[in-house]
Amino acid sequence: MVRNSVPTWSLRWHALDGSPTNVRMLFRKIAIRVFLPVFWRSSRRRTAAGLQRFAVTELDSAWQILHVLEHARDPVLRGKAFQHAMEELHHSVEFDRVSRQVLPELPPRPLPEREPLFEAECGSDALMDFMAYAHVGEVDVFDQFDSYAAGIGPGDARKVFQEAKADEEGHAGLTIAIMKGAGLAESDIRKRVFKVRLSRAWGAWLRFSKNLGDVNLSVVLTLLYVVFGGLLAWPCRWRIAQSYALANPHLAGV
Amino acid sequence: MIVLGLSAHEHGATAAVVRDGQVIAAAAEERFTRQSHDPNFPRFAIEFCLREAGLPAHALDRIVFHEDPHSRFTRVMTTTLATGFPWSPRLFVRSMAEWLSGRLWVRNTISRRLDVHPDKVSFVPHHLSHAAHALASSPFDEAAVLIAHTIGEWGCSVLCSGTIEDGIEIDVHEQLPYPHSLGLVGASLALFCGFRPYEGVRALSDLAAFGRPSQLEALREIVTLQPDGTYRVQPDWLALDAIAEQPHSSPFTPRFRAAFGEPRDTRVPLPFRSSQKGPAPTPDAQAIRFADLAASWQVLVEEAVLGLARRLHHHAPTPRLCFTGALADNPRLVARLDADGPFDTVFVPPAVGARGAAVGAAMLASAPPRQRSAQSPFVGRAYDETADAEMMAIVEPRYWPRFRLRGCDSDPNVRVEVRPGLALDALVDVVVADLAAGRVVGWVQGRFGLGPHSAGHRLVLCAPANADAAMRLNERVVDRPSWHHSGLAIAEGSAVKVLELEGPPGILHRWGQSTARPRPEVLDQVCEAVHVDGTVRPTVCTARDTPRLHHLLCAFGDRVGLAALLTATLREGELPMAASPADALLVFARTELDTLVINNLLVKKESP
């Protein structure tokens, strides 16, 4: 998993330096362990929607890797990327399957707009940035999946979390190996990971702001609906009743 | 004149570049994003189209969008207030929020994202986009055009006619506006039967063959046919405004549930089987209920569309008809329209829906095509397979089994043989031997097609008499139940030998748009392609349209006596059609696809 996610590797660093990232992760894990069972187990729809979000994220990861694969030329890197994409795709299909087991009438998965994390025009530096991004994502979900597996209770969904967790651990190691294999020094890798964290924090802020804006818009629209809806409903009904005549003025009276 | 046509916010955002009436490139966004029917702004499709045309965006003469967003916004606001107030604040808020936060300002979005002046961006009414695409991709200079889709700005079914001379001229004779939408009723019934609402048209048609039209009279209360050939949709049965704007919200009113029961639980599979061989499974009462509903809908929609066709023929007495819109993705309906309708020749474009609308919008704004013949749908991207051959030579297939599709063989000892750069004859020899041995083969060649069904360049193939191969193709490669109706690719020279045709195969069998009856003497040889209603869905391949597939079919014919192969679109489950070699290789690695051909590369699974 590439997006929405803290590396075991970087966590070890942060565990040494006591950075806030580690504390944040700890709080998050506690939150998942405490609140997830209450939240998810009380509503099948919420559980299914939550699992579906993982399916969406994993599919996006698979796509991001395929996007890299399309531009990479080194067969060894491509081979690793291919296997990685296959695993992420498998996770996505499995999360989707268990979400539908929980709630068959769940609407199809949301279709977010794709934003490539790797821009081919920026060369090999962009590839290393992508690997840093992927690494952060993989380690983050590695930690989260454990908590989710414990929180969701026994069943197929738990198995999917556990299997995915094992794969994500391998992916985190792979991304580091690729960066080191490309000759990046540890300090450079740290720098890139830090940049990724900043950009993800900025992204989270933007998402929060947008969601806040959406809530405000919804409140305004609801008020408009309540206050003016009654006034507008009658002319709208008239418009619908007249729609055939209005669409076919030349046939009016036929 | 170079025009970029766009559709977005619909099921299947698409971009198309048209130069002087010729489609240079066109592709749906889903081909690049791996999200079925991706409705987002078609960024990657635009990049591909511009690359193919060799132009920067500012060099385009015009950019046209497939609908008028302002008119459509008015309709959405009107319908949600008229039919829902005061009980649907949620639908109103969701719809308005979606429109106000983006869809309404599409001119600015296009202008900003392509860095072009807003004046270059214009809108074409949705039904005109459909009509222009149907007409321009047909071989006709003049024809009647019947559009039966879900909904555009206001029009749901549109009767028009058009000519191509110095430009495309469309005369709209009559529109059946909202709520009179056969497409929305069909989408609701597809959802009721457990399919995705908009893509379920074809599945509903396949399911119909297993049922009897026992619920026809009940459905006639929802869609009432008029003596003048038109129809009316009674709005109190289904919340059509909900499904029109939020396609996966439940449109079923208490009245509908009282008459037809609860929607299907998709966890319970439908126990039908298309194959004629072996004992047929015994469906339960629930499965029969949904099959009967599908059969009833099929009869009703055929009657409704025939009525519209007769009325259109009255308006435009020409022998040629172009039929398009979501309902045109129903091969049985198309066959009935061809057999019993008032028109001598019927044409259905290979890409109906929003994909075709993007091309049509660009066609309408561009000069007409110079050559009047049905245009090839293979206007997508072609890929080079060299890097993939190198990659496949070093991948480790022993890691694959754990990531296979559920139910697939997971032998960890499988080896992969990679043979790059094969000459066509050598390639075809290997593939024919594999097909004859009952293996399932993936076939990726050249540019991908525009439509939702690949029609020749991204296929899964197997021998049409081999029940085991057909079952594996359906259930362990494409990941769909065996009751779906697979296609049958036939070499042009063998079409008369396989199908009960009165003359040479027409344009309606060129891209699998219709059904046909196979000759009794070849039934055994194509039995797995014959649906339970005794029809096949043929694609008659010519050396001109799909030369390599045609060559393969002829070679297979030489070996087994009949140049026909069972086909399905190369995809896995609900993912979109495989576009790139990597997509195809993922299907190969994850499923029971035995052999995969990508241009001149052959990849084959071998058990030790």
How does pLDDT run across B84-118, given as a tens digit for each residue? Answer: 888 889 999 999 999 998 899 999 999 999 999 99
End-to-end C-alpha distance for chain A, whole angstroms: 62
Cα-flanking dihedrals φ and ψ of residue B400, to 5°?
-70, -40
* B243 within a domain of the structure (yes/no): yes
Query: Which residues in chain B have their CB less than 8 angstroms from residue A225's CB?
Result: 85, 89, 92-93
Whole-angstrom Cα distance, residue A88 to residue A160? 12
**Residue B438's pLDDT band (cuts 50, 70, 90):** very high
Q: Considering only residues 236 to 265 of chain B, which have any Cβ-Cβ distance to chain A shorter than 8 Å?
A: 248-250, 263, 265
CA dist B327 and A14 (Å) reads 59
Q: Flag whether pLDDT at A206 surpasses 80.
A: yes
Residues 6+ apart with CB under 8 A from B569: B452, B453, B454, B458, B459, B460, B478, B577
pLDDT above 70: residue A127? yes
Compute the distance between CA of residue B333 and CA of residue B328 in angstroms, rounded to an integer: 7
Burial B413-429 (b: 16+ CB within 10 A, else e): eeebebebebeeeebbe
pLDDT greater at residue B370 or residue B156? B156
Burial of residue B166 (CB within 10 Å: 0-12, 13-18, 19+) is exposed
Domain check: are B414 and B539 in the same one? yes
| CB within 8 Å: B586 and A93 | no
B607 contacts chain A (CB < 8 A): no
Residues B246 and B342 in one domain: yes
Report pLDDT for B408.
86
| Mean pLDDT (chain B, rounded) | 92
- pLDDT category at B370 given cuts 50, 70, 90 is low
Angstrom distance (rounded) from CA B146 to CA B545:
26
Structural domain boundaries enclosing B420: 386-606
Using the structure block, give the residue that is written with the tokens 């063998």: B494
- CATH 1.20.1260 segments of chain A: 8-184
When scoring A73, A87, A94, A111 by the number of chain B Cβ atoms within 10 A, the one with the most, hence best to mutate, is A111
Closest CB to A113 among B41, B178, B583: B41
Do B205 and B297 lie in a common domain?
A: yes
Looking at CA atoms only, how far is residue A43 from chain B in angstroms? Answer: 18
Select from A75, A221, A233 the Cβ nearest to the Cβ of B390: A75
Within 13 Å of residue B58, how many CA atoms lie on the same side as its CB? 4
Shortest CA gap B512–chain A (Å): 27
Q: Is B588 on the interface with A (CB under 8 A)?
A: no
Instruction: Kindly report the nearest CA distance between residue A138 and chain B, in angstroms.
Output: 18
B46 vs A138: which has the higher pLDDT: B46
Judging contacts by C-beta atoms under 8 Å, the chain A residues touching residue B78 are 236, 239-240
* Out of A147-151, B204-208, B230-234, B461-465, least confident range: A147-151
pLDDT band at A5 (very low <50, low <70, confident <90, very high): very low
Residue B370 lies in a domain: no
Residue of chain A whose Cα is closest to the Cα of B390: A75
Fill in the DSSP letter of residue B527.
G
- Measured between CA atoms, the residue of chain A closest to residue B159 is A248
Determine the distance in angstroms separating the CA of A22 from the nearest CA of chain B, rounded to an integer: 32
d(CA B573, CA B484): 13
Among the partner residues A75, A100, A111, nearest to B40 by beta-carbon distance: A111
Question: Which domain CATH number covers B517?
Answer: 3.90.870.20
Q: Are B433 and B486 found together in one domain?
A: yes
What average pLDDT score do residues A109-117 get? 88
Q: Minimal Cα distance from A219: which residue of B?
A: B93
Beta strands in B165-317 (DSSP E): 168-177, 223-225, 231-233
Tokens 């020899």 locate to B429
Task: Specify the residue for token string 């240079």.
Answer: B24
Give the per-residue pLDDT at B274. Answer: 77
Same domain, B103 and B62: yes
CATH of the domain at B63: 3.30.420
Radius of gyration of chain A (CA): 24
* Rounded Cα gap, residues A59 and A54, in angstroms: 8
Instruction: Please tell me if residue B382 touches chain A, with a CB cutoff of 8 Å.
Output: no
CB pairs under 8 A between A and B: 146
Task: Classify A4 as helix, strand or coil.
Answer: coil
What would the 3-class secondary structure string for B6-35 be?
A: EECCCCCCEEEEEECCEEEEEEECHHHHCC
pLDDT, residue A4, reads 37
Q: Residue B455 pLDDT > 80, yes or no? A: no
Q: Which one is predicted more confidently, B207 or B366? A: B207
Higher pLDDT, B409 or B253: B253
CA B538/CA B509 separation, integer angstroms: 6
Q: Is the pLDDT of residue B261 over 90?
A: yes
Which residues in chain A are contacts of B248 at CB distance < 8 A? 107-108
Longest dimension (CA), chain A: 84
Q: Hey, is B169 helix, strand or coil?
A: strand
Q: For A169-183, write each residue's pLDDT tens digit.
A: 888 888 888 888 888
Using DSSP, state whether B177 is helix, strand or coil: strand
Query: Could you check whether the bond before residue B179 is cis, i.e. omega within 30 degrees of 0?
Result: yes
Q: Which pLDDT band, with edges at 50, 70 and 90, does A149 fall under?
A: confident
Euclidean distance between the first and the last CA atom of chain B, given in angstroms as a whole number: 58
pLDDT at B152 over 70: yes
CB atoms within 10 A of CB A145: 25
Do B323 and B392 lie in one domain? The reply is no
Q: Which of B35, B180, B234 would best serve as a mutation to test chain A binding (most A beta carbons within 10 A)? A: B35
Global ipTM: 0.92
State the Cα–Cα distance between residues B417 and B599, nearest whole angstrom: 16
Average pLDDT on B50-54 reads: 96
Of A85, A111, A214, the CB nearest to B38: A111
Written as one letter, the residue type at A152 is I
Chain B neighbors of A59, CB-CB under 8 A: 34-35
> Span B225-242, mean pLDDT?
92
Q: What is the pTM of this model?
A: 0.93
Position B287 in a domain: yes
**Are B44 and B7 within one domain?**
yes
Residue at which a domain ends, from B347, B373, B395: B347
**Phi/psi of residue B68, each to 5°?**
-95, 105
CB contact under 8 A, A225 and B92: yes
Phi, then psi, of A127 in degrees rounded to 5:
-65, -40
One-letter amino acid for residue B131 of the chain: A
What single DSSP character describes residue B261? -
Specify the higher pLDDT residue, A180 or B220: B220
Phi–psi pair at A223, nearest 5 degrees: -60, -45
Instruction: Indicate if B257 and B286 belong to the same structural domain.
Output: yes
SS (H, E, C) A139-175: HHHHHHHHHHHHHHCCCHHHHHHHHHHHHHHHHHHHH
Q: Give residue-wise pLDDT tens across range B1-22.
A: 899 999 999 888 999 999 988 8
Does B437 reach chain A within 8 Å, measured CB to CB?
no
Side-chain half-sphere exposure of B512, counting CA atoms within 13 A: 24
Q: Is the pLDDT of residue A19 over 50?
A: no
pLDDT tens digits for range A57-110: 999 999 999 999 988 888 998 999 999 999 999 999 999 999 988 888 888 878
A169/chain B closest Cα distance in angstroms: 16
> Quick one: chain A helix, strand, coil %, rounded to 5?
85, 0, 15
Tell me the three state secondary structure of residue A184: coil
**Contacts B76 to A, Cβ<8 Å:** none
Asked if B93 and A225 come within 8 Å (Cβ–Cβ), the reply is yes
Residue B564 lies in a domain: yes
Nearest residue of chain A to residue B232 (CA atoms): A244
Query: Architecture of domain A8-184 in CATH?
Result: Up-down Bundle (1.20)
Q: Is the dihedral of CA A199, A200, A202, A207 positive or negative?
A: positive
Task: Indicate the number of domains in chain B.
Answer: 3
Q: Do B34 and A62 touch (CB under 8 A)?
A: yes
- Name residues whose C-beta falls within 8 Å of residue B594's C-beta, 6 or more positions apart in sequence: B434, B439, B440, B441, B604, B605
Q: What is the mean pLDDT of residues B556-563?
A: 96
What is the distance in angstroms between the Cα of A77 and the nearest Cα belonging to chain B?
A: 9
Going by C-beta distance under 8 Å and a sequence separation of 6 or more, which residues neighbour residue B189?
Answer: B204, B293, B294, B297
Domain ends where: B333, B365, B397?
A: B365
In B280-309, the residues whose Cβ lies within 8 Å of chain A are none
Q: What percent of chain B has pLDDT over 70?
A: 98
Q: Do B483 and B444 lie in a common domain?
A: yes
B589 belongs to a structural domain: yes
Sheet order of strands, B487-491 included: B415-419, B601-606, B595-598, B441-444, B458-462, B564-569, B487-491, B537-541
Residue identified by tokens 């309404």 is: B104
CA distance B404 to B398: 11
Q: How far is B38 from chain A (nearest CA, A)?
A: 6
Identity of the residue in B86, B178, B391 whose CB atom sits nearest the CB atom of A75:
B391
Chain A nearest CA to B482, separation (Å): 19
Domain assignment of residue B377, yes or no: no
Residue range A125-152: average pLDDT?
A: 84
Q: Does B387 touch chain A (CB under 8 A)?
A: yes
Query: Is the pLDDT score of A16 beyond 70?
Result: no
The answer to whether B92 contacts A229, with C-beta atoms less than 8 Å apart, is yes
B33, B403, B406 member nearest A87 (Cβ): B403
Is residue B263 domain-shared with residue B206, that is, in the same domain? Answer: yes
Judge if B254 and B232 occupy the same domain: yes
Q: What is the pLDDT of residue B585?
A: 97
Q: Chain A: give the shortest CA distance to residue B161, in Å.
A: 15
What is the spatial order of strands in the sheet that B345-347 belongs to?
A: B168-177, B155-164, B142-148, B320-324, B345-347
Region A25-53: mean pLDDT is: 79
- Residue B353 confidence (pLDDT): 84
**Residue A250: pLDDT band with limits 50, 70, 90:** confident
Residue B29 resides in a domain: yes
Give the CATH number, domain containing residue B245.
Answer: 3.30.420.40
For residue B163, tell me if it sits in a domain. no
Contact between B266 and A93 using a beta-carbon 8 Å cutoff: no
